[in-house]
Chain A
Amino acid sequence: MTDAMWAGTVAVTGHEGADLEAYAARPLDSGPHGGVVVIHHMPGYDEATKEIVRKFAAHGYAAICPNLYSREGAGVSPDDQAAAARAKGGVPDEQLVGDVAGAAAYLRGLEHANGRIGVIGYCSGGRQTFLAACSLQLDAAVDCYGAFVVTPPPAEFPLKAGPLISRASDLSCPLLGLFGADDKFPSPEEVAELDAELTKLGKEHEFHVFPDAGHAFFSVDRPNYRPAAAVEGWKKVFGFFGRHLAA
């Protein structure tokens, strides 16, 4: 057993054969390792998200975060890519699904992979995690405060992000949901509605709404960071992936 890891930029094939930049990290021991696809938040493929990828590797997973804004050009800084993608209305749902599928295929192809794949996403990536889990065959999914899963965005929002609750019957794997009680997007009412729908459908899920926490409470580099919720939230994440992604 060693805690050494490899981490760096790799290339993966995304939706419709697109070349995507991605950041991957994996333990150097002989495994076997479960795989985790990390979906970055709307501000993009940033340093804090890469740190999350390394955190999974430190806990024994092979992890990868595809840069969902790779199509905005190679060699363009991630913040400029994010602004350009935003100006186009964000990432289309079918493209997201294809990109996550490509990242999952990369993980499945690694030596020492155990073949099990989890997905985790934050903010807009939380909604996209739910979308991926309703579109692809996965083993576990973690939605961190994804909005617009139940309720549509206000009419003036130009983003191509409609509600997904009608897709809930297609959920392919257990879902862990981590939310803040003070969040408005998604509100606790929206979280409760999704919880009830999944219960009605008999879909395995586990939701936690943390007190004194709002949106983005995991973001260590933002003022909304809430250590108590984040520390407890990470415990839930590793417990959940430990149960569902073990060989």
Chain B
Amino acid sequence: MCTYLTEKIRIDGAAKGASGWFTVTDGMVYIDHPYHACQEHTVNIDLTNPAEGPSARVAIELTEEAALALVDAIHRALAAAPPGLASAAGGSAPA
């Protein structure tokens, strides 16, 4: 099925795409047919900067298990670091 369902978020960071590094401003998560992965459905994550055009995009297609493992890994990594270290407000923890 095509779910068409898309979770959109604003994000702040950078990513490396087909033409090099760019600032990312938007993120999308959707469960749908992948373009490349050999699964009928995947968790698709796009990190984009629409102001720089459609090619400013990093695309990831993950199985459900892989997507959840990625979420857990992000939570574990953040939990292990001093709070606020990677915050947009600027990390103030000692190096």
Which residues of A are in contact with B by a Cβ distance under 8 Å? 41-44, 46, 72-73, 76-77, 79-84, 86-87, 90, 123-124, 147, 153, 156-159, 161, 183-185, 215-216, 222-224
B46 engages A156 (CB within 8 Å): no
- In the bound complex, CA of A184 to CA of B34 (Å): 18
B4 engages A159 (CB within 8 Å): yes
Identify the closest chain B residue to A85 (Cβ): B54
Which residues of B are in contact with A by a Cβ distance under 8 Å? 1-6, 8, 18, 26, 28, 30, 32-36, 38-40, 46, 48, 50, 53-55, 57, 59
- In the bound complex, CA of A81 to CA of B50 (Å): 11
Q: Name the contact of A215 in the complex, choosing from B1, B18, B54 (C-beta under 8 A).
A: B1
Tell me which residues across on chain B come within 8 A of A185, comparing CB atoms: 1-2
Tell me which residues across on chain B come within 8 A of A153, comparing CB atoms: 4
A83 engages B38 (CB within 8 Å): no
Nearest Cβ in chain A — how far from B1, in angstroms? 4
- In the bound complex, CA of A82 to CA of B54 (Å): 9
Given known A-B contacts A80-B55, A90-B4, A223 and B48 have beta carbons under 8 A apart: no
A158 engages B5 (CB within 8 Å): yes
- In the bound complex, CA of A46 to CA of B36 (Å): 11
- In the bound complex, CA of A82 to CA of B4 (Å): 12
Given known A-B contacts A72-B54, A84-B50, A222-B40, A216 and B33 have beta carbons under 8 A apart: yes
Given known A-B contacts A42-B33, A43-B33, A83 and B54 have beta carbons under 8 A apart: yes
Name 10 interchain pairs, CB-CB below 8 A, sorted by A: A41-B33, A73-B53, A73-B55, A76-B53, A80-B54, A81-B54, A83-B54, A86-B4, A90-B4, A223-B39
Given A76-B55, A86-B4, 18 new contacts (CB under 8 A): A41-B2, A42-B4, A43-B34, A72-B54, A76-B53, A77-B18, A77-B55, A80-B54, A83-B54, A86-B30, A87-B8, A87-B48, A153-B4, A158-B5, A215-B1, A215-B40, A216-B40, A223-B38
Nearest Cβ in chain B — how far from A61, in angstroms? 27
B50 engages A123 (CB within 8 Å): no
Given known A-B contacts A81-B54, A84-B54, A157 and B30 have beta carbons under 8 A apart: no
Identify the closest chain B residue to A81 (Cβ): B54
B4 engages A79 (CB within 8 Å): no
Nearest Cβ in chain A — how far from B24, in angstroms? 13
A83 engages B46 (CB within 8 Å): yes
Identify the closest chain A residue to B28 (Cβ): A87
Q: Name the contact of A43 in the complex, choosing from B35, B46, B50 (C-beta under 8 A).
A: B35
Tell me which residues across on chain A come within 8 A of B46, comparing CB atoms: 83, 87
Identify the closest chain A residue to B38 (Cβ): A223
B40 engages A223 (CB within 8 Å): yes
Tell me which residues across on chain B come within 8 A of A157, comparing CB atoms: 3-5
- In the bound complex, CA of A235 to CA of B35 (Å): 27
For the complex of A and B, list the 10 residue pairs with the smallest distance between their C-beta atoms, beginning with the closest: A84-B54, A159-B4, A185-B1, A80-B54, A79-B35, A157-B4, A76-B54, A72-B54, A223-B40, A224-B40
Nearest Cβ in chain B — how far from A190, in angstroms? 12
